Amino acid sequence: MYLSKRSNGRYYIFYPQQNGKYTCRSTGTRSKSEALKFLANFENELKERISKKVNPIQLQHFALEFLSYSETVHSWNHVLSLRSTLRTFQNSIGNIYLSDLTKEKLIEFVQSRSKTVSAYAVCRDIANLSSAFNYAISKKYLSENLVKGIKKPKIIEKLPLFFSEIEFEILLRVIDNEDLKDLVVFAVNTGLRQSDIVNLEWRQINFRNQSLVLDNQNSQTKSRKVHTIPLNIKALQILTAREIKCRNSERVFIYLGKPIKALFLSHKFKKYIKRSGLNPQLSFHNLRHTFASWLVQKGVPIYQISKLLTHSDLRVTQIYTHLTEQDLLKAVNSLNN
């Protein structure tokens, strides 16, 4: 281990990794005396790391192991998100040993990402890395979660896009397949996520209680909890008609006699949006926003809407409260009386 001054005037520490190759770390100073102090502290840090006897593993092998584990406990979409973050992270810092990872390298990664992607994407990467490092701690690949304490960028709050009733009618007019039209109407009347709808089976429907159960059998809910969702008259009418039409299928919604893939539905929905001339930023997920927004406009309390959306935290649902501004206006105008 030694100090070296770079062309930028700053001192760097060069030290060997577990594979024998040297790597460097900036001391962040141009002063040799300050750099020597940093070196002493860094040597102590390395000794402490060695004393904790973490198991050596390179990032590439760790990523494969963690993703394999993740597939057994997370939804497929979350696995894809984790995979994307770990791939980007490895491309940024290289295939280093986890034990050679430092908070400074993580901060550099976050700062670099902040220059090229949205604040939301950076926050997602931080959360994904934190999840991966918690697993690494359980396997004794790391002694601590280095993500802890790293500041997340502020996400600018945006109003959720949703269909007006007129826009929704325009959309329905361009959907030329009855199966897909049933699915879209069902979505806007239940607020279910796309994965829950395409995987919905008849065994989950309880006509007597006018409800359906999300039981984590075909697709996992975000909270991993079982949820009972009430069904309104329109949703029940669709199910009643489809029960006769799809009596030979386990799935409630099919297309040309076959189960519907989520990716296919997303592409098909985008084509209908384009054909209708509506806002091209609208996607299938905005049907869920529409469900919530229409309920707010009808005066349904946010707490009840949160339960219907199966949100684990009421704060997630608060984004829809902007739609109650007319109620707030009435409230302040009451002072005029």
DSSP code per residue over 204-243: GEETTTTEEEE-SSSS--TTS--EEEE--HHHHHHHHHHH
71/185: higher pLDDT: 185
Cα angle, residue 222 at apex, residues 217 and 225 outer, rounded to 5°? 60
Residue 3 has pLDDT above 60, yes or no: yes
Query: What pLDDT does 36 receive?
Result: 86
Count of beta carbons in the 10 Å neighbourhood of residue 35: 21
Once rounded to an integer, what is the mean pLDDT over residues 305-325? 79
Once rounded to an integer, what is the mean pLDDT over residues 116-137? 92
210: left (phi > 0), else alpha (psi -120 to 50), else beta?
Answer: left
Query: What pLDDT does 200 receive?
Result: 94
Q: What is the pTM of this model?
A: 0.64
Sheet of 227-230: strands edge to edge?
A: 205-206, 211-214, 227-230
Query: What pLDDT does 249 receive?
Result: 87
Q: What are phi and psi of 140, to 5 degrees?
A: 60, 35
Residue 209 has pLDDT above 80, yes or no: yes
Q: Would you tell me which CATH number, out of the four given (1.20.120.530, 1.10.3080.10, 3.50.50.60, 1.10.443.10), belongs to the domain 165-330?
A: 1.10.443.10
Taking the C-alpha atoms of residue 133 and residue 98, their distance in angstroms, rounded to an integer, is 9
**H helices within the chain, ranges in order?**
32-51, 59-73, 76-93, 103-114, 119-138, 165-174, 178-190, 194-198, 233-245, 262-276, 286-297, 302-308, 314-317, 325-333
Once rounded to an integer, what is the mean pLDDT over residues 171-194? 96
CA distances from 50 to 43, 46, 161, 252, 265 (A): 11, 6, 52, 56, 51
Query: What pLDDT does 85 receive?
Result: 95
Q: End-to-end distance of the chain based on CA atoms, in angstroms?
A: 79
How much of the chain, in percent, has pLDDT values that exceed 70? 89
Once rounded to an integer, what is the mean pLDDT over residues 22-46? 81
Once rounded to an integer, what is the mean pLDDT over residues 13-22? 73
Once rounded to an integer, what is the mean pLDDT over residues 290-319? 86
When mean pLDDT is compared over 23-27, 46-50, 126-130, 301-305, the highest value belongs to 126-130
Residue 296: name the closest of 327, 264, 252, 275 by CA.
327
Taking the C-alpha atoms of residue 236 and residue 252, their distance in angstroms, rounded to an integer, is 12
23/303: higher pLDDT: 303
Residue 327 has pLDDT above 60, yes or no: no
Task: Count Cβ neighbours within 10 Å for each residue of 128-147 and write b for 16 or more, e otherwise.
Answer: bbebbbebbeeeebbeebbb
Once rounded to an integer, what is the mean pLDDT over residues 235-250? 88
Least confident span in 3-17, 194-208, 248-262, 323-337: 323-337
Query: What pLDDT does 318 receive?
Result: 79
Do the Cβ atoms of 210 and 231 come closer than 8 Å? yes
Instruction: Tell me the domain boundaries of the chain.
Output: 2-51, 59-138, 165-330
Residue 125 has pLDDT above 90, yes or no: yes
When mean pLDDT is compared over 11-15, 255-259, 327-331, the highest value belongs to 255-259
Instruction: Name the fold adopted by 59-138.
Output: DNA polymerase; domain 1 (1.10.150)
Count of beta carbons in the 10 Å neighbourhood of residue 59: 20
For residue range 252-286, what is the model confidence (pLDDT) as tens digits?
A: 999 988 999 989 999 999 999 999 999 999 999 99
At residue 241 the predicted structure's pLDDT band, cuts being 50, 70 and 90, is: very high
Taking the C-alpha atoms of residue 184 and residue 284, their distance in angstroms, rounded to an integer, is 8
53/187: higher pLDDT: 187
Amino acid identity at 131:
S
Residue 334 has pLDDT above 70, yes or no: no
User: Across all residues in the chain, what is the average pLDDT?
Assistant: 87
For residue range 46-62, what is the model confidence (pLDDT) as tens digits?
A: 666 555 567 889 999 99
User: What is the DSSP code (8-state) at residue 153?
Assistant: P
217/109: higher pLDDT: 109
Cα angle, residue 258 at apex, residues 252 and 263 outer, rounded to 5°? 90
Task: Count Cβ neighbours within 10 Å for each residue of 271-284 and write b for 16 or more, e otherwise.
Answer: ebbeebebeeebeb
